[in-house]
Amino acid sequence: MSASLPETAERVEYCYDNLNGSCIKMQRSSSVKMSLYILFGFGAVLTISGNLLVIISISYFKQLHTPTNILVLSLAVADFLLGLTVLPFSIIRSVETCWFFGEYFCRFHSCLDGLFGIASIFHLCFISIDRYFAITIPLKYPLKFTMSFIICLILSGWIVAFVYIFSVLYLKANEEGLDEFVTAISCYGSCQFIFNTKWGLINSLIFFVPCFLMMSLYTRIFIVARKHARKIEISENRVNISNSSSNKTMKREQKAAKTLGIAMGTFALCWLPFFIDTMIDSFLNFITPSFAFDIIVWIAYFNSSLNPLIYAFFYPWFRNATKLIMTCQILTVDCTNMNIFDK
């Protein structure tokens, strides 16, 4: 007579029950899964809808066709595509703790994930440079930061990010020297790429170097903006109509710098745990548990849903544009030339 298993023993679940070498599936109750689907789904919907509003607003209203806003538009495109193409599959992977979409799509999915993240870093860096020149040398700024120059910056950012992440992951440079470890942890239903010490350090530098540059530029921007604010306060005490117009423009530039600085700081805080963990893991034989790494990744993901909220809170033009879009007025009235700032 064979011994039966105790009733309290839990049955081991696999991602693929009928496949040898399948990954073990983490057991979660239906209520936990439903809660996670709602949370992550809400984040994905907010990311897609919020950034879509930014894209439509800047694209439709001609008054918003400025070099800075074109950079913001491209940043919103990166966040929108992340929500549309990456997050739906990441939600299923995180909740079910399994990857059901095949090895080839896993690599492509990871490439898209990295592409949009690196492109966002480059765009925020470009925006900080743009704001620096707009505040520090306002007279020369229109001559240097033309639309053609901004478009070249945007294209270069996307191309460099694409070439870097696709070449590293498809050539498997990130796994050099880790063959035995990769073989040991490989199983059907897993989709998590690891980086050796060399590429873990390079990945971290791609994040930390632009962040250091952005912090330096925004520090300088706020110092100069404070000086300008004092001059504006003095000039406002005089009855001078011509100064009134220039003062409004300067105040708008300063507010834009402040808002974009907040967006940059939020991005850094959200992505900092991911890049620190990636670097440390590459030196300490990947000690981060999978559930902890998932939390770190989703903190980074949710940054893409925060930028539209920041714009809505600080930018009257975004609130005005959103109202016109949500009420479908842009379909019935030709308001593309509307003064969106004073509406």
Q: pLDDT tens across 160-192, in order? A: 999 999 999 998 888 888 877 777 778 888 888
For residue 250, the one-letter residue type is M
The dotted CATH code for 30-332 is 1.20.1070.10
Return the pLDDT at 1: 37
Q: What is the pLDDT of residues 222-236, one digit of tens each?
A: 788 777 666 666 665
How buried is 119 (Cβ within 10 angstroms: 0-12 exposed, 13-18 middle, 19+ buried)?
buried
C-alpha span between 64 and 340 (Å, rounded)? 8
Cβ burial, residue 194 (10 Å; 0-12/13-18/19+): middle
* Range list of H helices, 171-240: 179-185, 197-236
Average pLDDT score over residue span 47-62: 92
pLDDT at 3: 42
- Write out the two tokens for 2: 């064979």
pLDDT reported for residue 343: 53
The pLDDT of residue 7 is above 80? no
Q: What is the pTM of this model?
A: 0.86
The confidence score (pLDDT) of residue 138 equals 83
**What's the rounded Cα separation, in Å, for the pair 127 and 258?**
12
Residues 6 or more apart whose CB falls under 8 angstroms from that of 115 comprise 161, 162, 165, 166
Q: Are 301 and 87 in contact (CB under 8 A)?
A: yes
Residue 253's pLDDT band, with cuts at 50, 70 and 90, is: low
Query: What percent of the chain shows pLDDT beyond 70?
Result: 87
pLDDT reported for residue 241: 46
Distance of CA 23 to the CA centre of its chain: 30
Residue 149 scores a pLDDT above 90: yes
Query: Which pLDDT score is estimated for 2?
Result: 40
| Strand, helix or coil for residue 25 | strand
Q: Supply the DSSP string of 152-173, one letter for each residue.
A: HHHHHHHHHHHHHHHHHHHTTG
Rounded to the nearest integer, the mean pLDDT of the chain is 83
